[in-house]
Chains A and B, each alone.
Chain A
Amino acid sequence: MTCRSSIGAIALLAALLLPPFLLPDAGARAFDQSKYPDLKGQWERVGSPRWDDDHAPLTPEYQAIYQANLKDMKAGGQGIDPTYTCLSPGMPRIMNVYDPMEIVVTPATTHILIQHNHDMRRIFTDGRDWPSDEEPSFAGYSIGKWIDSKGTGRYDLLEVETRNLKGPRVYDASGLPFHKDNKTVINERIYLDQADPNLLHDDITVMDHALTRPFAANKKYSRSKDPQPVWLEAQCSDGNHHVQIGKENYYVGEDGYLMPVKKDQAPPDLKYFNKK
């Protein structure tokens, strides 16, 4: 009776203190956020938005493509970097985090939200297998698995594999290329720093036919201290001065006139306009 009284008292106390919303419900689906690492908030890139371009293990064929791209950039062109037209950077470049990132964790999906140029990702963690007929995309198709690597009873690591990509994609603004077959496979390990829970790591390993061996990078992100961080809307098309006409890229000046980006660049062909 004594114990029953105690239990009864606790139950009564709980019933009195809890708002009705928190009372048990037959259809209740509890998402225990404490099982997952606290990835809430606003994350900003630490360091440069680049890969180690000088040490990329490119095949000779793709090294030549990369060098030609650098030469074009030096002349004022965009090389093979397609993002000047506001095309999505795709994976793994999305994880360079050009604009602040929010990570929304739910049991079935972890959402990576970045404004920039269409840098939104879904990492499915519902145990699904690779689909057989998914459309290729710049962000690719990502399947993840939460890991309790330390045996603490809580997840501390998100392992992700991304496939089914489309191109063109490059690693960063240097134009470091991926193979045009787009058969890239990208593995990631996303976890909080053990010493600093406001530092997030993403160990990225890329396997691609333009490489002689896997190419790895450790990306780091720092959490904003603001409990209500500001999320600025980034619209690439807003104020983008670059236009692509034919195979050429041009610049639209502040005065609204088309301008060359390279010395002696030919103007666009105006054959479709009436000649006066």
Chain B
Amino acid sequence: MLYRGSIGAIALAAALCAADAGAFAFEDAQYPDFSGKWNRAPFPGAPRTPQPAYDPTKGWGKAQGAPLTPEYDAIFEANLADQAAGGPGTTRGFTCRTGGMPLIMTLFQPMEVVVLPDTTYILIDRSNVQRRIFTDGRDWPKEIDPSYVGYSIGKWIDADATGHYDVLEAETRSFKGPRTYDASGLPLHADNESIIKERMYLDKADKNLMHNQITVIDHALTRPWTVMKDYRRDSSPRPVFVEEDCAEGNPWVEIGKEAYMLSADRQLMPARKDQPPPDLRYFNQSRK
């Protein structure tokens, strides 16, 4: 009888669990606290750059020291020449397309990270970035529709053996392009076969500082290129997430292969010196 009592109790507990098969308590404390709003963190002593650089510890453009192949170094040089003349070079941000990976992880706008057991969501308002890092143990699908943000599979690691996860390792593949590392136009290879590995974790001494070590393996590089990005958590418990719609007031217009600018009165203007106007062959009349 006594044993029956124990067995009965276990059976009852099991039955109670089974009766609520859909119930699932997600233990937040298993995971690092990535909640809140994260902004790009400055690196003390880093050179000033016209826009956030891919490697935040180094200078703009060539000073990044990207290990480009000679072919892609030449593409980069041509891009710099076009930008010096007023053009967009190899960048396509002016069209409001997302920069894709790894550029988006520079955080041109604040990031929210939502951690659930099966998926970690990276939400960045700019260009409507909704990145999913799948942590449900799935393998790479046989067919993946290429995208600018790619397809990300992650794994939580208990690196310090504390019984809690502290590192999210993610690998991202299946891209489309064109993509650049930053607005200087540093290019990724046109074959879009990049593989991007990330290690995201909180600083041990400062839990409001997140590190993201990003390694890019790409055919435009002579070797893998690793940089560290830091993000600082907003101190507000209810941070403001400002909606940024790139299309709103975008002063750029792409017509064919040419990028033009819009004036304050929203009329077409050349972006480069002596840039020809668009061909108006399909119009019945031309204004003088």
A interface, CB within 8 angstroms of B? 2-3, 5-7, 9-10, 13, 20-23, 25, 27-34, 38, 85-88, 104, 106, 111, 113, 115-120, 122, 124, 126, 128, 131, 134-135, 137-139, 228, 230-233, 235-238, 243-247, 252-253, 255-260, 264-274
Contact = CB atoms under 8 A, between A and B. Distances in A.
Contacts of B246: 86
B204 interface: no
B43 to A, nearest CB: 29
A163 B121 CA distance: 26
Given A28-B29, A111-B123, A235-B97, A273 B276 contact: yes
Contact of A9 (B6, B130, B269, B275): B6
B248 interface: yes
Contacts of A20: 163
A82 to B, nearest CB: 9
B20 interface: yes
A25 B29 contact: yes
Which of A85, A119, A271 gathers the greatest number of chain B CB atoms within 10 Å?
A271
A238 B6 CA distance: 65
B132 interface: yes
B6 A272 contact: no
Interface of B is mostly: loop
Nearest to A7: B9
Nearest to B92: A237
A106 B112 CA distance: 13
B267 A10 contact: no
A230 B132 CA distance: 11
B268 interface: yes
A233 B253 CA distance: 22
A128 B98 CA distance: 32
Interface string B146-172: 011100000000000001110000000
Contacts of A257: 255-256, 278-282
A30 B26 CA distance: 6
The 4 closest A-B pairs by CB, nearest first: A256-B256, A34-B23, A233-B147, A137-B243
Contacts of B26: 30-33
Contact of A270 (B121, B277, B285): B277
Interface string B238-259: 1011110111100001111100
Interface of A is mostly: loop
A172 to B, nearest CB: 19
Contact of A115 (B9, B13, B24, B130): B130
Given A5-B2, A38-B22, A135-B243, A22 B282 contact: no
B5 to A, nearest CB: 6
Given A238-B97, A269-B268, A230 B245 contact: no
Contacts, number: 211
Interface of B: 2, 5-6, 9-10, 13, 20, 22-30, 95-98, 114, 116, 121, 123, 125, 127-128, 130, 132, 134, 136, 138, 141, 145, 147-149, 163-165, 238, 240-243, 245-248, 253-257, 262-263, 265-270, 274-287
Nearest to B97: A237
Given A34-B22, A115-B128, A122 B241 contact: yes
Contacts of A115: 128, 130
A135 B267 contact: no
Contact of A10 (B9, B20, B145): B9
Contacts of A246: 265-267
A134 B255 contact: no
A3 B3 CA distance: 10
Contacts of A139: 243
A267 B287 contact: yes
A31 B25 contact: yes
B229 to A, nearest CB: 22
B263 A272 contact: yes
B267 A271 contact: yes
A259 B253 CA distance: 14
Contacts of B121: 104, 111, 113
B116 to A, nearest CB: 7
A27 B240 CA distance: 27
Contacts of A137: 242-243
Nearest to B243: A137
A231 to B, nearest CB: 6
A114 to B, nearest CB: 8
Contact of B280 (A38, A267, A274): A267
Contacts of A255: 256
A30 B10 contact: no
B122 to A, nearest CB: 11
Given A34-B20, A257-B279, A118 B28 contact: no
16 contacts: A21-B30, A22-B30, A34-B20, A34-B23, A85-B247, A87-B245, A111-B123, A113-B121, A118-B247, A131-B240, A235-B98, A252-B255, A255-B256, A257-B256, A268-B278, A269-B287
Contacts of A269: 267-268, 287
A30 B241 contact: no
A33 B128 contact: no
